[in-house]
């Protein structure tokens, strides 16, 4: 899946090493106009959700997905 985003966040995520983690604001909480929806969708579709901490979902990079 190739997605282009102006700020290059998805490209940076694609270059993370196995075991690195990303925190995404839980869906229970409202997001504002600055929320990078395409990046969040990419993370949810391509990384493994491994848990939650406070108001965040934790996603972990797994090289086998790419």
Residue 65 banded pLDDT, cuts 50, 70, 90:
very low
Residue 42 contacts residue 13 (beta carbons within 8 Å) = yes
Residue 40 contacts residue 24 (beta carbons within 8 Å) = yes
- Least Cα distance to 53 among 28, 23, 27, 29 occurs for 23
Beta strands of the chain (E only): which ranges?
21-25, 48-53, 56-60
pLDDT tens digit sequence for 5-38: 556 899 999 999 999 999 999 999 998 888 899 9
The whole-model pTM stands at 0.79
């Amino acid at each position: 899946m190739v997605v282009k985003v102006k700020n290059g966040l998805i490209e940076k995520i694609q270059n993370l090493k196995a075991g690195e983690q990303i925190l995404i604001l839980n869906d229970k909480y409202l997001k504002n106009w600055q929320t990078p929806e395409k990046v969040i969708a990419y993370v949810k579709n391509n990384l493994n959700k491994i848990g939650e901490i406070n108001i965040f979902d934790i996603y972990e990079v797994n090289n086998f997905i790419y």
